[in-house]
Amino acid sequence: MTKENLYRNPLNRDFFERKTEEVARQLLGCILVREVENSLLSGRIVEVEAYLPDGDPAAHAFIGQTLRNKVLFGQAGFSYVFRIHGQNCLNVVAEPEGIPGCVLIRALEPVGGIDLMRNNRKRRVEREEELTNGPGKLCQSLRIDLNLNGVDLTYPGSPLIVCGSDGADIGVVVTRRVGITKAADEQLRFTIKGNRFVSK
DNA sequence: CTTACGATTCCC
DNA sequence: GGAATCGTAAGG
């Protein structure tokens, strides 16, 4: 399969309809592809965090369904985009319908459209790592905002999809989640070992 | 309507 | 170390 076709061939919904932690691990190495104005911006997922559907005080679903988080309670394989501290964050919905687990995409290794990513950033970016080594940064670089909340990431025609891993052998490191105050001790952050695009 | 609050980023 | 940032939820 050519590279071009590979990046337009998203994962099936079955992939996402599993335990949140399992989806988080398996997402490492997968390619996030954003289509904007006939251009493709893409990156390999190198850092994620799981937010569990039950008894996880740090999860947005913990307080029950609201207008903001309702997509979490729907089908797996959809995007959940929210804004915090003036920045956007991208999540992928996991688990069968009605069970509100999700995976936060925290960092990417840029694959395609790197010049465009630089243009999309508000600040001038020198090092390539700074383009996508944080949840807010990668959303800026890929132009992901609240308009992309609730997008079907498994539909080939979507402006945002997730494609399969290239199959490269990776080591996975598990740590505590970062940047949160509640349930911060849970070992729910997964990163690709040694990858330089993992956030600091 | 008002207010408090972050799953962040950037600058000093 | 601290300011900027802004949509959301909850309370008056």
Q: What is the pLDDT of residues A143-200, one digit of tens each?
A: 999 999 999 999 999 999 999 998 889 999 999 999 999 999 999 999 999 999 999 8
Residues 28-87/A with CB within 7 Å of nucleic chain B are: 49, 51, 58-61, 80, 83-87
> Residue at minimal CA–C1' distance from C3?
A85
CB A35 within 8 A of CB A67: no
Q: Which tokens sit at A125?
A: 């970016």
pTM of the model: 0.96
Rg, C-alpha atoms of chain A: 15
**pLDDT at res. A152:** 98
Residue A2 scores a pLDDT above 80: no
> With a 7 Å cutoff on the CB, does A65 touch strand C?
no
Across A99-123, average pLDDT: 97
Residue A1 scores a pLDDT above 80: no
The spacing between the Cα labelled CA in A64 and the C1' in C10, in angstroms, equals: 14
Across A64-83, average pLDDT: 98
Banded model confidence at residue A8, pLDDT cuts 50, 70, 90: confident
**pLDDT at res. A166:** 82
Closest nucleotide over all strands to A102 (CA to C1'): B7
